[in-house]
């Protein structure tokens, strides 16, 4: 093929020569071409530069006009492009300014254009690092900002569809700051209490004690809640009584609670601004806040965002229930990995009374097992933890029913807002026959404030009429909702 082409073009040349054979006057010589444009050239390439997350860069990529030369003296227009384009840098007239936002190195291409079609490019790299000297001194290698655990892209099963990010998605930089805050006793007035004093990883981020002890012996009013899968839920209000309007709003309330972290500003106690001043003096927070927020300002909203990112990141989806759920299309299908008793318990959980079901799904919905957002009454557990003769009708939220018990089957602390239930069986017995006060006015108040799903078709809660075998099935099923990784994964453990 190549050979044929060669012959063909030779033939054309021969014909042309023959046709031009000396019989006509040669055309006048063309005018001399204008002098060719001289393109600019790189005279002095930029060396690679160093930057740091959250620190201003101000660099003249023309190096005072010496980066490029142009032999015919054309005026050069300089443009700069960045790859990636979104790491906080901008340029005007060849001068680069801005703050790198993340650790990605930035490739900079500087282009000189002489306006006559001639261009030259100089490419160099801004190596983006991070200032973490104080962090490394404090945490002795437990935290390396250049090599963080993966908080921001967890593997979540496809059947988990609920996600309430509330405009504050988890990032690695925010979650690591939140983790340090969560475990830091400097966040209490006498340096004794951290969030983790009452939210213990080995207990599913709850507490063994019925009520928890904060600063100077102060006690909480209710039982500590497990902090698992909090963002894989529809209910946006937090605490047993839902008094916090969002996850973020909740996160600094313990700091300002007289009995918990103590920065209440009451009875001569310091307040949240004093806490902020205290944290500003700790150099590792200067570095962590700059890494997460690009400057060192510590504010209450930033404490909320970072603590919420850490607690939102805590997830548990490696239970026996999850391996079964992944193999079927619907929750109501029999799970191949379940025993007959576990499958029967699942049916009881997912079926409505009075036709043989226990109706739990009406308030704790599969597959997240989060509490339904529309509960408008109590579940029959009304005694105050501190004084059982007082009634508290306000508790309409519960943590996910995942990880109510540990992998060994023992509870992660007592259950319910008042910690009144020590075993799963006692919880099931409660729902099977909800005890209604017999005296007035307690009886009427109790029934006026109960969630109607527990009353159904009569003015008082009917018995679910579960047999002992059915109670055992329900208990066996509830135990399948427990994972294992969440109790030990170092990414949620203390960095101190
Ligand atoms: C002294 C013990 C104690 C300390 C310290 C403490 N908590 Fe709690 N936490 C509790 C108790 C008790 C509850 C339930 C209180 C209620 O509902 O009235 C709770 C509830 C919560 C909830 C609500 C969970 C839900 O599903 O609604 C979150 C989130 C939480 N705590 C996070 C934190 C964070 C973050 C810190 C540190 C800034 C912290 N806690 C410090 C005891 C404590
Ligand atoms: C009417 C809604 C409703 C129904 C139906 C319901 N629950 Fe609850 N559940 C709640 C509420 C609200 C709480 C928290 C109440 C409190 O502590 O005062 C709760 C708490 C719990 C707790 C304790 C969680 C913890 O972290 O301490 C368990 C376990 C539980 N329910 C299991 C069940 C089972 C099993 C069923 C079915 C037999 C069921 N629930 C039916 C609303 C309901």
Distance 224 CA to ligand 1 centre (A): 6
**Given this model, what pLDDT does residue 458 score?**
76
- The per-residue pLDDT of the chain, averaged, comes to 94
Evaluate whether 248 touches 238 at the Cβ level (below 8 Å): no
Ligand with minimal distance to 243 CA: 1
b vs e for 386-396, b when ≥16 Cβ sit within 10 Å of the residue's Cβ? eeeeebbebbb
How many domains are there within the chain? Answer: 3
Q: Identify the domain boundary among 317, 337, 356.
A: 317
Q: Which atom of ligand 1 is nearest to the CA of 194?
A: 5
Mean pLDDT of 152-178: 97
Confidence of residue 18 (pLDDT cuts 50, 70, 90): very low
Cβ–ligand 1 distance for 464 under 6 Å, the answer no
Give the separation between CA 289 and CA 243, rounded to whole angstroms: 28
Ligand with minimal distance to 369 CA: 2
Task: Write out pLDDT tens, residues 434-485.
Answer: 999 999 999 999 999 999 999 977 778 999 999 999 999 999 999 999 999 9
Residue among 200, 260, 402 to mutate when testing ligand 1 (max atoms within 8 A of CB): 260
Question: Which residue's CA is minimally distant from atom 19 of ligand 2?
Answer: 398
Residue % of the chain over a pLDDT of 70:
95
Residue among 203, 224, 494 to mutate when testing ligand 1 (max atoms within 8 A of CB): 224
Residue among 416, 447, 463 to mutate when testing ligand 2 (max atoms within 8 A of CB): 416
Both 210 and 125 in one domain: the answer is no
Q: What is the CATH number of the domain that holds 202?
A: 1.10.760.10
Q: Identify the domain boundary among 300, 317, 334.
A: 317
Both 48 and 124 in one domain: the answer is yes
Both 101 and 144 in one domain: the answer is no
Confidence of residue 5 (pLDDT cuts 50, 70, 90): very low
Evaluate whether 80 touches 121 at the Cβ level (below 8 Å): no
Q: Is 124 part of a structural domain of the chain?
A: yes
Cβ–ligand 2 distance for 322 under 6 Å, the answer no
Distance 226 CA to ligand 1 centre (A): 9
| Higher-scoring residue by pLDDT: 242, 1 | 242
Both 276 and 344 in one domain: the answer is no
Distance 248 CA to ligand 2 centre (A): 24
Give the separation between CA 223 and CA 210, rounded to whole angstroms: 5
**Given this model, what pLDDT does residue 358 score?**
95
Both 309 and 423 in one domain: the answer is no
Both 346 and 472 in one domain: the answer is yes
Q: Is 26 part of a structural domain of the chain?
A: no
Both 305 and 339 in one domain: the answer is no
Distance 395 CA to ligand 1 centre (A): 15
The residue among 140, 312, 169 whose CA lies nearest residue 227 is 312
Cβ–ligand 1 distance for 418 under 6 Å, the answer no
Both 351 and 383 in one domain: the answer is yes
Cβ–ligand 1 distance for 357 under 6 Å, the answer no
Cβ–ligand 1 distance for 222 under 6 Å, the answer yes
Q: Which atom of ligand 2 is nearest to the CA of 450?
A: 1
In which region does residue 132 sit, left (phi positive, over 0), alpha (psi from -120 to 50) or beta (all else)? Answer: alpha
Q: Is 28 part of a structural domain of the chain?
A: no
Cβ–ligand 1 distance for 307 under 6 Å, the answer yes
Residue % of the chain over a pLDDT of 90:
91
pLDDT above 90 for 331: yes
Task: Write out pLDDT tens, residues 416-429.
Answer: 999 999 999 999 99
pLDDT above 90 for 162: yes
Both 145 and 270 in one domain: the answer is yes
Q: Is 385 part of a structural domain of the chain?
A: yes
Distance 398 CA to ligand 2 centre (A): 7
Minimum mean pLDDT range among 22-26, 43-47, 253-257: 22-26
**Given this model, what pLDDT does residue 23 score?**
62
Evaluate whether 399 touches 228 at the Cβ level (below 8 Å): yes
Both 332 and 313 in one domain: the answer is no
From residue 197, give the alpha-carbon distance in Å to each of 211, 222, 419.
12, 15, 17
Cβ–ligand 2 distance for 350 under 6 Å, the answer no
Residue among 364, 394, 465 to mutate when testing ligand 2 (max atoms within 8 A of CB): 364
Q: Is 421 part of a structural domain of the chain?
A: yes
Cβ–ligand 2 distance for 450 under 6 Å, the answer no
Mean pLDDT of 378-393: 95
Residues 6 or more apart whose CB falls under 8 angstroms from that of 161 comprise none
Q: Is 162 part of a structural domain of the chain?
A: yes
Task: Write out pLDDT tens, residues 88-133.
Answer: 999 999 999 999 999 999 999 999 999 999 999 999 999 999 999 9
Give the separation between CA 188 and CA 272, rounded to whole angstroms: 10
Both 380 and 255 in one domain: the answer is no
Q: What is the CATH number of the domain that holds 337?
A: 1.10.760
- Evaluate the omega torsion of the peptide bond into residue 301 and state whether it is cis, within 30 degrees of 0: no
Evaluate whether 449 touches 377 at the Cβ level (below 8 Å): yes
Q: Which atom of ligand 2 is nearest to the CA of 396?
A: 12
C-alpha neighbours within 13 Å on the C-beta side of residue 146: 12
Ligand with minimal distance to 255 CA: 1
Q: Is 85 part of a structural domain of the chain?
A: yes
Cβ–ligand 1 distance for 251 under 6 Å, the answer yes
Question: Which residue's CA is minimally distant from atom 41 of ligand 2?
Answer: 360
Q: What is the CATH number of the domain that holds 111?
A: 2.60.40.10
Both 161 and 280 in one domain: the answer is yes
**Given this model, what pLDDT does residue 357 score?**
93
pLDDT above 70 for 188: yes
Cβ–ligand 1 distance for 400 under 6 Å, the answer no
Q: Which atom of ligand 1 is nearest to the CA of 259?
A: 1
Cβ–ligand 1 distance for 310 under 6 Å, the answer no
Cβ–ligand 1 distance for 197 under 6 Å, the answer yes
Give the separation between CA 334 and CA 360, rounded to whole angstroms: 18
Domain that holds residue 59: 41-129
Q: Is 4 part of a structural domain of the chain?
A: no
Q: Identify the domain boundary among 129, 145, 178.
A: 129
């Amino acid at each position: 093929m190549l050979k044929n082409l060669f012959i063909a073009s030779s033939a054309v040349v021969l014909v042309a020569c023959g046709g031009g054979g000396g019989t006509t006057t040669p055309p006048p010589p063309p005018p001399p071409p204008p002098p060719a444009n001289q393109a600019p050239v790189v005279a002095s390439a930029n060396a690679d530069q160093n930057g740091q997350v959250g620190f201003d860069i101000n660099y003249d990529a023309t190096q005072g006009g010496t980066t490029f030369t142009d032999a015919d003296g054309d005026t050069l227009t300089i443009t700069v492009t960045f790859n990636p384009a979104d790491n906080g840098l901008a340029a005007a007239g060849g001068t680069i300014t801005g703050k790198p936002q993340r650790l990605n190195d930035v490739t900079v291409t500087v282009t000189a254009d002489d306006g006559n079609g001639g261009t030259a490019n100089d490419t160099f790299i801004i190596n983006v690092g991070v200032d973490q000297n104080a962090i490394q001194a404090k945490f002795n290698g437990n935290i390396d900002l250049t090599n963080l655990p993966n908080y921001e892209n967890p593997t979540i099963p496809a059947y988990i569809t609920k996600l309430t990010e509330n405009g504050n998605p988890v990032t690695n930089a925010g979650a690591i700051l939140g983790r340090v805050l969560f475990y830091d006793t400097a966040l209490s007035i006498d340096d004794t209490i951290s969030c983790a004093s009452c939210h213990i990883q080995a207990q599913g981020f709850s507490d063994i004690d019925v009520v928890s002890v904060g600063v100077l012996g102060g006690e909480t009013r209710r039982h500590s809640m497990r902090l698992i899968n909090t963002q894989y839920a529809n209910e946006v209000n937090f605490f047993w009584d839902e008094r916090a309007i969002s996850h973020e709003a909740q996160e600094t309330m313990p700091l300002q609670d007289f009995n918990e972290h103590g920065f209440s500003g009451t009875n001569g106690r310091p307040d949240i601004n004093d806490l902020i001043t205290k944290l500003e003096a700790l150099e590792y927070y200067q570095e962590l806040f700059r890494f997460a927020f690009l400057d060192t300002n510590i504010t209450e909203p930033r404490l909320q965002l970072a603590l919420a990112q850490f607690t939102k990141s805590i997830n548990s989806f490696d239970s026996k229930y999850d391996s079964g759920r992944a193999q079927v299309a619907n929750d109501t299908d029999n799970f191949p990995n379940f025993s007959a008793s576990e499958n029967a318990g699942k049916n009881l959980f997912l079926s409505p009374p009075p036709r043989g079901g226990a109706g739990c799904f009406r308030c704790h919905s599969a597959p997240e097992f989060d509490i339904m957002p529309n509960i408008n009454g109590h579940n029959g557990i009304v005694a105050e933890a501190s004084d059982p003769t007082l009634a508290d009708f306000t508790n309409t939220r519960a943590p996910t029913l995942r990880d109510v018990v540990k992998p060994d089957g023992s509870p992660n602390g007592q259950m319910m807002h008042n910690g009144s239930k020590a075993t799963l069986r006692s919880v099931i017995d409660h729902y099977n026959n909800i005890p209604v006060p017999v005296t007035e006015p307690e009886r009427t108040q109790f029934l006026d404030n109960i969630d109607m799903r527990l009353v159904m078709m009569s003015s008082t809660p009917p018995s679910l009429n579960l047999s002992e075998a059915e109670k055992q099935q329900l208990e066996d099923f509830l135990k399948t909702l427990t994972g294992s990784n969440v109790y030990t994964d170092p990414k949620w453990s203390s960095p101190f």
